[in-house]
Every structure is written in C-alpha cells, then in structure tokens.
Structure 1
Amino acid sequence: MKTISTIVDDVSVSPEIEETFIKIKKALNAPFTPNFFRVWGISPESLKGIWPVMNHILTSGRVGRQLKEMIFVAISSLKGCHYCEAAHHAFCLSIGVTPEQIDSLINNYTADTADPKDKAAIDFAVRLAKDSHSSSEQDFQALRELGFDDEEIMEIIAMSGMCVFYNHLANATKINIDEGFVKKISKK
C-alpha cells in the first residue's frame, strides 16, 4: 500500500502543472520543484490555491525574504513540521542566514543573533503561531518603534498564518524531505 509521501514518485503531470512547477522553481529560486508541490500536483485545483499563497506572502511584499524564511524555520520547528523546517532551513542557508541563527530558530524558536528588529518580528510571528488571539495594540506599537510600518506588520501576521497552514499540509501528507534540501543542510 502506498503512503501519501510516496505518491510524489507517481504523479502524472499535465503540461499546465509542469508550467506551474517551473514557475515555483523560479519564484523560490530553487534548483528543483520541492516535493511539497509535486505531491499537490495530484490535485491541480488544490495546487492552484496553495501555490499563489506562498508566492505572494513568502516571495513578495516589503518584508525581506530572509526574515520570512527565518520565521518559517522557527514556526516549522515549533509545530514539528520536519519537511518545512528542512526546506526553509536550506533556503535560509542559500540566502545568508548563518548556521548559528538557524540553530537558534530550530531550538529556541527565535534568532538571538539577529538584529533586534528581526528578532522582534520572529518572536511576534511565533507567538501568533502558538495563539492567534495573542496579538495586541502593544505589539503593533513595539514593532513600529523598531521601524516596521503597519503594512509590514500585516505581512508578518500573514507569514505566521501561512506557516501554520503549510505545516498542516506538509504534516498531513507526510512528505519526504527532498534530497536536495538534505544535501544543502548537511553541507553547513
């Protein structure tokens, strides 16, 4: 009996899905289409909804990709999503996050070596991943004082929610971690 995590090997890819996979690789600046998206290729309608969320929240906007990837690692570790933790660990390494920062994100759900602005954003996003009711006017004020504007704060909130959503999808499908991510992490 096949498990969900092995379906990726048998997905029949239509030209439309292959085109989506090419867009994903390009937007993520990845050398391959991650297994996460390949598994969802079995459900084209789901993939049509899942990919644009990540494309807009992770790869676009005013908050930098590096900070967003750090948030993704911290929340994925918190939520026990080994797939997302490994994938975004590899992306962090590719865009200049240090191994020490990544270790802190994985073990403490924060980045003690990051600048205070990044640390505050990561801590806020992780707290929201634990309890989405925990945001307050004081959070907005503290983040504003560090230099974030309201649009950027909303992006941090969206990033936190997106991480929880993607962790759910990856954990539920038990996706195998891509060999390319494993190799990247082992080289650090």
Structure 2
Amino acid sequence: MSILQTTSEAEAVGATAAAYAADRAALGYVPSHTKVLAMNPEAFDAWKTLQSAIAGSMGMRRYELVTLAAALGLGSRHCRLAHGNKALKFFDEQELLGIARDYRNAGLNEEEIAMMDFAIKLSADSAAMDESDSRRLRDLGFSDREIVDITLAAAARNYLSRTLQALAVDVDMPPKLSEEMRGALLDPLDIRETAAD
C-alpha cells in the first residue's frame, strides 16, 4: 500500500479533477494509479500524450499486445489488469484469455509473437539485447518505424509500471473484468515469480 496522500475525488480541482473525470468517463471509476500520477498533473499529461502518440502510430491491437507482454516481463499486476481490461475493446474475451495464458499458443501470427517476445526481453533484461533482437523483427517484415514504435511502447510501459511498483500503488481490479480473465492475467505473473525464486 502506498504511503502517498492522494487527493480524494471530492476534493479534486483543476487538472487533478479533469484527470479523475476522464477516468470515470472511460472506466467508470478512478484507479489508484491515476490518483498517484495526478500528483504531478503536468507529467501525467505528458505521459498520456506520449502514450497516445505511440499507440496512434502502431495501432491499438499491436499496442495492447506489446503492453501486455512488457507488463508480463516486468511482473506488473497493475498494467496486466488495466490493459487486459482495455484490450477487450480489440479482442474478444476468449481470444484474450488465450493470449493472457500463453500468447505463443493463442493463434497469434508470427509477427505478433515476435513483437511480444521483444517486449518481454526489453522489460526483463534489456542489457542483454543486441541487433539480433531488432533483426528478427526486420526479417518478419517490420519497418524501421514499426520497430521503433514497438520499442517505444515496451519502454514506455517500463516507465509507468516501474513507477507504480516503486511507489507501492494499490493494484486495482477493474470491476468489469471477469474472474476468469483476472486469473488468466495474473497467473503468468505468479509463475514468473516462482521461477525467479
């Protein structure tokens, strides 16, 4: 649990109130991460602008796949749940359940699997990456711009996820996410942590 004293919804004004209102409209509630990030509304706005620029360039399906993979590589419950919830706009629930449980055997194409592998490696051990990682994407037909966008999406997820983890921000359970989906999104993280012990 975070030690930070966030602004309550009733007391929020200005940019903080606007951030809260945007999440209430989009999600039906204000997540804990918004309450923490809104403590620096200028940085939060810059984050949202960056996120939008990356996602708009690469398309939402690819963006959500890379985001889910990066969150898996980081062991981020926050981002696996939040983006699992968001990804339901671009995948049906059965498809997303398969991706959450084992993306390599979920019917994704080779290009999608490769970019998820790339995002996980970037998130788990970026120091071990070399030109062969980018070359795999190039060999599968990704343009230089697309390789940069995949990298930016994964790296940006590292920024946000590590911020939330470092500040011990509460993990929100999106209310519309089914129990089965919650389990599928969180189980791989438990497996990852057990393997690291």
- Aligned partner of 1:84 in structure 2 is 79
Aligned match for 2:61, one of 45, 61, 66 = 66
Aligned residues of 2:16 and 2:39 also touching (Cα < 8 A):
no
Deviation at residue 118 of structure 1 after TM alignment = 0.2
User: How does the TM-score come out when normalised to structure 2?
Assistant: 0.74
- Aligned partner of 2:176 in structure 1 is 183
SS in 1 for 2:44: helix
Unaligned runs of 5+ in 1: 105-109
Deviation at residue 6 of structure 1 after TM alignment = 7.0
- Aligned partner of 1:34 in structure 2 is 31
Give the AA of the match of 1:99: L
SS in 2 for 1:94: coil
User: How does the TM-score come out when normalised to structure 1?
Assistant: 0.77
Aligned residues of 1:13 and 1:41 also touching (Cα < 8 A):
no
1:109-148 aligned at under 5 Å gives the runs 110-113=103-106, 114-148=108-142
Give the AA of the match of 1:184: L
Separation in structure 2 between the aligned mates of residue 3 and residue 138 of structure 1, nearest angstrom? 40
Separation in structure 1 between the aligned mates of residue 18 and residue 144 of structure 2, nearest angstrom? 35
Using a 3 Å threshold, how does the CA distance of structure 1 residues 90 and 8 change in structure 2: closer, same or farther? Answer: farther
**Fraction of identical pairs, as percent:** 20
Separation in structure 2 between the aligned mates of residue 10 and residue 172 of structure 1, nearest angstrom? 23
Quote the RMSD (CA, aligned, Å). Answer: 2.8
Give the AA of the match of 2:86: F
Aligned match for 1:50, one of 47, 50, 55 = 47
Separation in structure 1 between the aligned mates of residue 14 and residue 33 of structure 2, nearest angstrom? 18
Separation in structure 2 between the aligned mates of residue 182 and residue 31 of structure 1, nearest angstrom? 9
Unaligned runs of 5+ in 2: 182-197
Aligned residues of 1:112 and 1:119 also touching (Cα < 8 A):
no
Equivalent residue pairs, number: 177
Separation in structure 2 between the aligned mates of residue 40 and residue 18 of structure 1, nearest angstrom? 12
SS in 2 for 1:148: coil
Aligned residues of 2:31 and 2:172 also touching (Cα < 8 A):
yes
Task: For CA contacts below 8 A with separation 6 or more, give which structure has more relative contact order.
Answer: 2
Separation in structure 2 between the aligned mates of residue 138 and residue 147 of structure 1, nearest angstrom? 14
Separation in structure 1 between the aligned mates of residue 23 and residue 53 of structure 2, nearest angstrom? 12
Q: What CA deviation, in whole Å up to 9, does each residue of 1:79-127 have, x standing for no partner?
A: 22211111111122332042111112xxxxx433211010001101111
